[in-house]
């Protein structure tokens, strides 16, 4: 069993699928300290290039210890989000993600496909977002709405407002928090003005949460020092994740996915399937081959007209529909002076949709 990256030489049968098709499409080589392995097939890449949205996320628990993560890239196929590319990396910096996406583009071109997504949806990992923007400059780079909600919840909880949020006798903090989350569902051009409108009536205890939203997701920070006669005023610090990365108004209007929950659901499925954490390399690759085989069967079933159970529970589907109807009526809510009702109503259903209240999270921001 190889004990380090230099000793790893991937050979058959681990370079092919269970059907004998080439599966290991790229290996940066044993001499590469930042080694990258990319597993996919020609058909997987064809489907990926037909998908308008790429969904990407990393998982850490199952990968062999010599690697840091498996970064999977998913696409849409007959109404389902399916895994299509599996990348093993030893780092999660911007250079690694750039190389990974560049090789993916090259592989597609090698098969005479063109990878040109309109949207790349990821979690709020700045290195991955920057890399995706560099390789796909014409795509919208979106963060997952669920992760945005988690970030806001963690700030609320760390500000000592968890008990106030769940207080059944006083909904003030709960209503204020829902209004802030609801800003993800107003047009991007309206985010700042709607933020100002609701901020006027925020409870004073919500100030840390409001400042977090303003600094990280809306306006950024004002410069720390003033201008002098000899020095021009410093430029303001831009928000780490500006509104276009977390706002989903247009996605809802277009009937598009607004979270990476399908991807995270697949990661959970894969972890349950392999049972153990940090498998040895050969067992891990064997499990990956099995998963590729299962996904091919699933796609064939979809092509044959078979109905595959929708992963969304019925209550989530109903809430999706209610959110879509409310977004369609946004202008009416504004004309009637019902902004707060709009924001709270959407966020109430968002909570049911995305489980916005985890106690903690190890997601990187």
Looking at the predicted structure, is the pLDDT value of residue 363 above 70? no
Ramachandran quadrant class, 54 (left: phi over 0; alpha: psi -120 to 50; beta: rest): beta
For the chain, the straight-line distance linking the first and the last C-alpha, in angstroms and rounded, comes to: 35
More confident residue, 273 or 196: 196
Tokens representing 225?
Answer: 């020092």
Q: 346 with 327: CB under 8 angstroms?
A: yes
Q: Flag the least confident range among 216-220, 280-284, 314-318.
A: 314-318
Q: Over the chain, what is the mean pLDDT?
A: 90
Length of the chain (residues): 365
Estimate to the nearest angstrom the gap between the alpha carbon of 261 and the chain centroid: 8
Query: Residue 150's Cα: distance from chain center in Å?
Result: 12
Select from 42, 35, 37, 34 the least CA-distant residue to 17. 42
Place of tokens 């205890």: 205
Q: What are the distances in angstroms from CA 5 to CA 8, 31, 67, 68, 200? A: 5, 8, 8, 12, 56
Q: What is the pLDDT of residues 198-219, one digit of tens each?
A: 999 999 999 999 999 999 999 9
pLDDT in tens, 120-161: 999 899 999 999 999 999 999 999 998 899 899 999 999 999
pLDDT digits (tens, 9 = 90+) for 37-88: 999 999 999 999 999 999 999 999 999 999 999 999 999 999 899 999 999 9
Separation CA 117–CA 222 (nearest Å): 34
DSSP 136-193: -TTSEEEE-HHHHHHHHHHHHHHTT-HHHHH-SS--HHHHHHHHHHHGGGS-GGGHHH
- The model's confidence at residue 316, banded by pLDDT at 50, 70 and 90, is confident
Mean pLDDT of 87-100: 97
Q: Which residues neighbour 103 within 8 Å (Cβ) at sequence distance 6 or greater? A: 26, 36, 38
**pLDDT exceeds cutoff 50 at 319:** yes
Token reading at 4: 């380090």
Which domains are assigned to the chain?
A: 5-144+259-303 (3.30.420), 148-251+312-354 (no CATH)
Instruction: Please tell me which residue, 266 or 316, carries the higher pLDDT value.
Output: 266
Q: Provide the pLDDT confidence category of residue 225 given band limits of 50, 70 and 90.
A: low
Residue-level pLDDT at 263: 86
Burial-class residue 100 by CB neighbours within 10 Å (0-12, 13-18, 19+). Answer: buried
């Amino acid at each position: 069993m190889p004990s380090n990256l230099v000793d790893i030489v991937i050979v058959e049968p681990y370079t092919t699928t269970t059907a004998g098709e080439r599966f290991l499409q790229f290996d940066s080589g044993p001499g590469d300290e930042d080694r990258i392995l990319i597993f996919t097939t020609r058909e997987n890449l064809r489907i990926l290039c037909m998908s308008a949205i790429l969904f990407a996320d990393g998982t850490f628990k199952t990968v062999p210890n010599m690697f840091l993560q498996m970064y999977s890239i998913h696409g849409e196929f007959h109404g389902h989000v399916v895994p299509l590319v599996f990348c093993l990396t030893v780092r999660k910096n911007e250079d690694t993600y750039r190389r990974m996406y560049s090789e993916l583009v090259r592989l597609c071109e090698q098969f005479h496909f063109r990878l040109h997504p309109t949207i790349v949806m990821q979690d709020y990992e700045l290195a991955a977002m920057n890399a995706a923007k560099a390789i796909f400059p014409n795509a919208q780079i979106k963060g997952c709405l669920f992760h945005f909600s988690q970030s806001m919840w963690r700030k609320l909880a760390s500000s000592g407002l968890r008990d106030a949020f769940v207080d059944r006798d006083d909904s003030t903090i709960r209503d204020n928090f829902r209004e802030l989350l609801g800003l993800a569902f107003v047009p991007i051009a309206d985010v700042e003005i709607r933020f100002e409108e609701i901020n006027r009536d925020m409870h004073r205890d919500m100030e840390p949460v409001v400042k977090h939203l303003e600094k990280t997701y809306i306006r950024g920070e004002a410069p720390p020092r003033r201008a002098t006669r000899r020095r021009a005023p410093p430029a303001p610090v831009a928000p780490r994740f500006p509104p276009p990365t977390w706002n989903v108004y247009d996605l809802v209007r277009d009937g598009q996915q607004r979270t990476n929950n399908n991807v995270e659901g697949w990661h959970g499925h894969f972890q349950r399937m392999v049972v153990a954490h940090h498998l040895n390399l050969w067992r891990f690759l064997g499990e990956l081959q099995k998963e590729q085989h299962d996904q091919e069967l699933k796609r064939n079933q979809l092509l044959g007209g078979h109905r595959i159970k929708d992963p969304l529970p019925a209550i989530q589907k109903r809430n999706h529909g209610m959110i879509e109807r409310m977004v369609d009526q946004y202008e009416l809510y504004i004309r009637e002076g019902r902004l707060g009702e709009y924001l709270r109503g959407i966020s109430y259903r968002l909570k049911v949709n995305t489980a916005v209240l985890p106690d903690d999270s190890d997601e990187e921001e």
